[in-house]
Chain A
Amino acid sequence: DIQMTQSPSSLSASVGDRVTITCQASQDISNYLNWYQQKPGKAPKLQIYDASNLETGVPSRFSGSGSGTDFTFTISSLQPEDIATYYCQQYDNLPWTFGQGTKVEIK
């Protein structure tokens, strides 16, 4: 199985800060990587697909980059409504695997 290592596990930032989350795959997954946002008590919501494509309706302050084994998810200007846990997920090979999540909080 492909292991997805996500970091940090949590972070605290101020409104307006740039926030960066990284995800590393245990083997080359090309660009077969998605990012999801999950708010407490809710199902995850797709933010970025294929490593760098913004899902329809998602604000442009969210972005993703990377390919191969190293990926980055960025919030360019953190907003209060962005408080959530974010997960990466690879779909290059079944079984799919998720990262351990990054909890984003407001400082």
Chain B
Amino acid sequence: QVTLRESGPALVKPTQTLTLTCTFSGFSLSTSGMCVSWIRQPPGKALEWLALIDWDDDKYYSTSLKTRLTISKDTSKNQVVLTMTNMDSVDTATYYCARIRGYSGYGPIDYWGQGTLVTVSS
């Protein structure tokens, strides 16, 4: 059974760096073709794709956010970590991690975490 769970601070101050951890089970990121992605959703707004990491440690980022994002994995712990620097109020959102079905990211998101709401406020 595949599960993903996001963890991290619920509140961060402007200019701080956000670090979120996705802990998953039911699959391995060392399996050829496997990928995990981060997606966020500001309150009442649409989904926004942020980043993806694959089994081969290739990393891909949102065009508009790539200077602020870093994605990494710890295969032994079944974890994917997302950091976002210089947080601002517009980054207030629910952040989801998700697994991609299909080789090397060419497929749908078939499993999502429950999401974690991050509020940026002083």
Are the CB atoms of A91 and B107 closer together than 8 Å? yes
Chain A residues near B110 (CB-CB < 8 A): 46, 55
Are the CB atoms of B60 and A46 closer together than 8 Å? no
Are the CB atoms of B106 and A91 closer together than 8 Å? yes
Q: Among B9-17, B21-29, B47-55, B74-82, which stretch is in contact with chain A?
A: B47-55
Q: Which of B101, B107, B109 has the most CB of A within 10 A?
A: B109
Q: Mark B85-115, 1 if CB is under 8 A from A, else 0.
A: 0000000000010000100011111101111
Residues of A in contact (CB 8 Å), total 23
A72-107: which residues lie under 8 A (CB-CB) from chain B? 87, 89, 91, 94-101
Indicate whether A44 reaches chain B with its CB closer than 8 angstroms: yes
Task: Please classify how large the interface on chain B is, using the bins under 10, 10 to 19, 20 to 34, 35 or more.
Answer: 20 to 34
Are the CB atoms of B46 and A87 closer together than 8 Å? yes
Are the CB atoms of B49 and A98 closer together than 8 Å? yes
Are the CB atoms of B61 and A95 closer together than 8 Å? yes
- Shortest CB distance B43–A (Å): 11
Are the CB atoms of A98 and B63 closer together than 8 Å? no
Q: Looking across the interface, which residue of chain A has its beta carbon closest to that of B97?
A: A43
Known A-B contacts A96-B49, A98-B46, A98-B49; A91 and B112 likewise in contact (beta carbons under 8 Å): no
> CA A95 – CA B50 in complex, angstroms?
8
> CA A46 – CA B110 in complex, angstroms?
6
Chain A residues near B115 (CB-CB < 8 A): 43
Chain B residues near A1 (CB-CB < 8 A): 63
- Shortest CB distance A100–B (Å): 5
Chain A residues near B47 (CB-CB < 8 A): 36, 38, 44, 87, 89, 98, 101
Q: Looking across the interface, which residue of chain B has its beta carbon closest to that of A85?
A: B46
Are the CB atoms of B46 and A94 closer together than 8 Å? no
B22-77: which residues lie under 8 A (CB-CB) from chain A? 37, 46-49, 52, 60-63
9 residue pairs from A and B, CB less than 8 Å apart: A34-B108, A44-B112, A55-B110, A91-B107, A91-B108, A95-B60, A95-B61, A95-B63, A96-B49
Residues of A at the B interface (CB closer than 8 Å) are 1, 32, 34, 36, 38, 43-46, 49-50, 55, 87, 89, 91, 94-101
